[in-house]
Amino acid sequence: MFTPFINNNLSFIKDYFSLLLDNKEKNFPQSIILYGEDTFAQYMLALNLAKILNCLDNRSMSCNCLNCNWIKENSHPAVITVSKLDFKPDDDSSKTVISVKQTQEIKNQLSTTSEYHRVFILCDAEIKTPNETEKEQINKFKKNNFSLPYEDNESSQYWIPKGITRKIFQEESANSMLKCIEEPPPRTTFIFLTKDKSDLIETIISRSQSFYVPSKHVENNDVEIIAKELKYYPEIDRLEINNITNNLLTNAEMLNITPEELIIKFQQFIKNTALANANTPTNVAKMIDDIKILNETQSQLRSYIKPELALENAIYKIYKNWEN
């Protein structure tokens, strides 16, 4: 069902959506927020979901049904990228925002019936000469058989997806869409691509399911070092937080694992636990919060906060997240 890149790098998300798609496609979320550093991966995932939801045949990556082919070419009439550059009505001259005219156009489309599962992907975008990292991402994206909304090989200008921000998707536009996000016609999904959930207004977040899309692939998935100390996760004994922190860091040092790698393993451990809890969405949502807490820990480590302090603080926040 999913591209090789998603199979290999986003296994937690892939498994979660596979469960949704296999069991209750009718209840597929009407609004999804994908957040994290890798907007290319988010865009690929959004298109991949749209492809599965619209496939007329066996949902395989190699399927060549009409819908799959359109989505691979990025030309499907009901799988629409909305950004400050894309999906502009003729009379809309705005260039820096997703305008109210655009959201009105979305509403117009939704007022007609459709034979497709409609997917609106909302993000920021830029057309530019890609830098080295972006070049790599474009190659990866195309190797996985998807196309960008705009590519010009000759002039080397490419459409690059960026996370949506409040500056791009201002309150007036966002608010004008709330009702159709909350009660869209059947078989409609909005997907927001962001770096961080806080880039969207609260009223959208509360109407959406949020998923963290990890940007780093952990080669070694051995999370034993974490499991040993957090046997009863999500239950954590408050009085043990200091001990757990010290044990984790000491054991990591002995095994030549850096604090940064330790945090990645911690996140992997939570993902594994979440996967085992996939039928309890409230727990999964809290575990995703825990993963996000550890993202903050990573950035604290990058700004030279002491590992003891950063990790202890994270475990305390996780403990608080599950209190009650």
- Shortest distance, CB of residue 73 to Zn ion, whole angstroms? 13
Outline where DSSP puts E strands in 47-100: 79-82
| Binding window for Zn ion (CB under 5 A); candidates: 64-72, 141-149, 165-173, 229-237 | 64-72
Site for Zn ion in 27-56 (CB under 5 A): 55
Which two structure tokens, joined as six digits, stand for 54? 């619209």
- Shortest distance, CB of residue 67 to Zn ion, whole angstroms? 6
Q: What phi and psi values does residue 73 have, to the nearest 5 degrees? A: -85, 0
Which two structure tokens, joined as six digits, stand for 57? 């045949």
3-state helix, strand, coil in the chain (%, to 5): 50, 10, 35
Outline where DSSP puts E strands in the chain: 31-35, 79-82, 118-122, 124-128, 151-152, 157-162, 188-194, 209-212
Among 20, 65, 97, 127, which residue interacts with Zn ion (rule: CB under 5 A)?
65
Q: In terms of DSSP H, where are the helices of 24-59?
A: 39-54
- Shortest distance, CB of residue 68 to Zn ion, whole angstroms? 3
Does position 79 bind Zn ion by CB under 5 A?
A: no
CA distance readout (Å), 88 to 83, 96, 98, 216, 245: 8, 12, 9, 34, 52
| Binding window for Zn ion (CB under 5 A); candidates: 62-70, 93-101, 102-110, 308-316 | 62-70
Does position 123 bind Zn ion by CB under 5 A?
A: no
Among 53, 68, 119, 284, which residue interacts with Zn ion (rule: CB under 5 A)?
68
- Shortest distance, CB of residue 10 to Zn ion, whole angstroms? 21
Among 22, 25, 57, 73, which residue interacts with Zn ion (rule: CB under 5 A)?
57
Site string for Zn ion, 249-268 (x = CB under 5 A): --------------------
- Shortest distance, CB of residue 193 to Zn ion, whole angstroms? 23
Q: What phi and psi values does residue 284 have, to the nearest 5 degrees? A: -60, -40
Q: What is the three-state SS of 182-198?
A: HCCCCCEEEEEEECCHH
Q: Which is nearer to Zn ion, 59 or 216 (CB)?
A: 59
| Binding window for Zn ion (CB under 5 A); candidates: 23-31, 58-66, 87-95, 193-201 | 58-66
Q: Are 82 and 92 in contact (CB under 8 A)?
A: no
| Residues in touch with Zn ion (CB under 5 A) | 55, 57, 63, 65, 68
